[in-house]
Amino acid sequence: MLIRQKSEIPSSEITPKREYMNRRAFMAAAGAGVAAVAGGRALRGLAKAAPVDAAEQLATVKSPLSTQGLALTPLYDITHYNNFYEFGVNKDDPAKHAGSLRTRPWSIKVEGMVSKKKTFDIDDLLKLRPIEERVYRFRCVEAWSMVIPWAGYSLSEFIKQCDPLPSAKYIEFTSLDDPKQEPLPWDAGIQWPYTEGLRMDEAMHPLTLLTFGMYGEVLPNQDGAPVRVVVPWKYGFKSAKSIVKVKFVKDQPLTTWNLMAPNEYGFYSNVNPNHDHPRWSQKRERVIGAPIWKQLQPTLMFNGYADQVASLYQGMNLDKNY
Ligand code: MTE
């Protein structure tokens, strides 16, 4: 289904969102019964889903950097099919458990090669620039994808405020690591905190989004509230969620999945249908929430953003630097 542009209709009127709200009302009614018979666990799941319902609106402006002509993934799918290993390893775990994440007060510490160390409060960051709605394709390394109307502004705007030294070549992102708020860290067997990184030119690219919301509302906890990055031409794991620290560094930073399995998850992780994951093909992807006959789609080089970003990798062997 093709969706009209954001300029024509407010995001609250976009069909997938409305469908989501109806489904949510149905599920709340059905869930009350389940909770009564199933006890604590079901009740906990229901209670933890509450922040999605109580989402705060974000005023957004239309962005010329939005990807045009794509059907948006329904909000229900975006918020119930997640990877957020701090809250468990199953796709529905984050929706069930991320309600314990406290998103205020929240700040991002800036460290490393900067003229002066600083800390930015989330509410000041929200006021720094107009929040744009940017529709991007989002491709997970697991060969599924979504189309998401994110809300944020270019990460470069934030980086300018950080005033990094010219000798800084990379930026490292660190996610919140708090077992009290993130109850299931032992499940995933990965080293906490979750860290990711980008080369400075990738981080400064206008498409790289400092993200505060989606569908015109603040980010649901399970999608990385209150602030994450989104790098649309890279596999989803490069997009660190619930960021509490950025560090500007000289050398390529160690990153969570690259540390876990360097032969499977490279530092660059640009979407590349010509470089298969050792255990599966990357030539196609399953579009989550799409009608069954449109679900299997060919994967595009750089996730469809080659015109904008291919020049960043000119002369690089992409098979080697996967
Ligand atoms: N960030 C943190 N802190 N923890 C995670 O487990 N998972 C990554 C990325 N960022 C992850 C994370 C992976 S593997 C993917 S595919 C995306 O988040 C998923 O984002 P989504 O759940 O909003 O679709």
pLDDT tens string 104-121: 999 999 999 999 999 999
Q: What distance in angstroms lies between residue 263's CA and the mean position of ligand 1's atoms?
A: 19
pLDDT at 223: 98
Q: In what order do the strands lie in the sheet with 118-121?
A: 118-121, 107-112, 243-249, 170-175, 195-199
What sign has the CA pseudo-torsion 251, 253, 254, 257? negative
Q: What distance in angstroms lies between residue 115's CA and the mean position of ligand 1's atoms?
A: 31
DSSP 57: B
Residue whose token pair is 């002066």: 116
Mutate to test the pocket of ligand 1, among 77, 237, 242, 255 (most ligand atoms within 8 A of CB): 237
Report helix, strand or coil for 26: helix
pLDDT at 185: 57
Domains of the chain in start order, with CATH, are: 16-52 (no CATH), 59-313 (3.90.420.10)
Nearest residue to 146 via CA among 136, 133, 134: 136
Pocket, ligand 1, Cβ cutoff 6 A:
82-86, 140, 175, 194, 223-224, 236-237, 239-242
Atom 11 of ligand 1: nearest residue by CA position: 84
Worst-scoring range by mean pLDDT, 34-38, 59-63, 181-185, 300-304? 34-38
How many angstroms separate the CA atoms of 312 and 315, rounded?
9
Q: Are 120 and 108 spatial neighbours (Cβ–Cβ below 8 Å)?
A: yes
> What mean pLDDT comes out for the span 254-277?
97
Q: Is the pLDDT of residue 181 over 70?
A: yes
Q: Which residue has the higher pLDDT, 271 or 8?
A: 271
> What mean pLDDT comes out for the span 270-298?
97
* Confidence class for position 186, pLDDT limits 50, 70, 90: low
The whole-model pTM stands at 0.86
pLDDT at 299: 98
pLDDT at 20: 40
Residue 205, token pair as written in the block: 């690219």
Q: What distance in angstroms lies between residue 82's CA and the mean position of ligand 1's atoms?
A: 7
Residue 3, token pair as written in the block: 């969706």
Per-residue pLDDT tens over the stretch 205-257: 999 999 999 999 999 999 999 999 999 999 999 999 999 999 999 999 999 99
Q: Tell me how far the alpha carbon of residue 161 is from its chain's centroid.
A: 22
Nearest residue to 138 via CA among 48, 235, 3: 235
Q: Are 251 and 267 spatial neighbours (Cβ–Cβ below 8 Å)?
A: no
Cis before residue 105, ω within 30 degrees of 0? Answer: yes
Nearest residue to 262 via CA among 251, 274, 250, 278: 278
Average pLDDT of the chain? 86
pLDDT at 29: 34
Residue 316, token pair as written in the block: 């690089």
Per-residue pLDDT tens over the stretch 26-79: 333 333 333 322 222 222 233 334 344 557 999 999 999 999 999 999 999 999
